């Protein structure tokens, strides 16, 4: 049976549902017994979801064309 530390070192693929079947079985065996690791898995997945869905670093849609315009203007000036 894994310790919590071993579990936490190995569960990276598991939260992405990408762990190999035997790793997954090993992790789930621990998870089955350990409430705190369950919480960590659950909240890590939710963290990923929140980060993935956030628009924290998103360029506003109406800013795209001005950037395209400016970049192309700068390139054409340079080339001339």
Partner 1 sequence: MLRELANAGERGAILTVFDFMSDILQAWNEALPRDMKAAAVYGFVPNLFLCQRQLPRAVEAEECLINAVVVCGNEMSRSHKEAILRCVAEVQKNDYCRTLYGNALPAASVGDSALFIFAIKLARFAPWFSKGDTSALKEWGFNDESLLEAVATIALGHMLCTLADGLSPVSDPRLALACSAEFPLVPEPTDWVETQGPYLSFPAEPSEKSPSYIFFRQEYGFLPNLFLVQSVRPDLVEAEARALENLMLPEDHLSRIQKEQILVTLSAANLNTYCFTMGCQVLSVLGALPGESDEIIAGQYLGQLSPQDKTLLDEAVKLGAFVKGSRGRFDRERLRTVGFTEAQIVEAVAVAGLANFLNTLQAGVGVVPDFPPPRTFSPKDLYPSDEKSRPISDATRPEDPDAEIVTCVQSGEIDAFEELVRRHSRRVYGILAGVVGNMDDVQDLTQDVFLKAFEHIGAFQRRSKFSTWLTSIAINTGTQLLRDRKPSESLSESDEDEGFCPRQIQDWAENPERLVAASQRDELVRAAVLRLPEKYRFALLLRDIEQLSTEEAATVLSISIPAMKARLLRGRLMLRESLTPYFVRRARES
Give me the residues that bind partner 1 (CB under 8 A), please.
5, 8, 11-13, 15-18, 21, 25, 32, 36, 39-40, 42-59, 63-65, 67-68, 70-72, 74-76, 78-79
SS3 17: coil
- Tokens representing 10? 């190995």
- Region 17-56 residues binding Zn ion, contact defined as CB under 5 A: 34, 37
Residue 16 phi, psi dihedral angles, 5° rounding: -95, 10
Q: Which two tokens stand for residue 67?
A: 């950037």
Residue 58 binding partner per list Zn ion, partner 1, none, with a CB distance cut-off of 5 to 8 Å that depends on partner kind? partner 1
Q: Which does 57 bind (CB under 5 to 8 A by kind): partner 1, Zn ion, none?
A: partner 1
Q: How far apart are CA 18 and CA 27, in angstroms?
A: 12
Q: How far apart are CA 44 and CA 17, in angstroms?
A: 12
62 is in the binding site of which of Zn ion, partner 1, none (Cβ under 5 to 8 A by kind)? none
Least distance (Å) between residue 22 CB and Zn ion: 19
């Amino acid at each position: 049976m894994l310790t919590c530390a071993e579990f936490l070192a190995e569960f990276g693929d598991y939260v992405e549902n990408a762990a190999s079947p035997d790793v997954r079985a090993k992790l789930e065996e621990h998870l089955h017994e350990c409430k705190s690791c369950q919480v960590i898995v659950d909240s890590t997945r939710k963290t990923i979801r929140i980060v993935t869905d956030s628009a924290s670093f998103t360029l506003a849609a109406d800013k795209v064309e001005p950037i395209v315009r400016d970049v192309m203007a700068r390139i054409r000036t340079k080339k001339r």
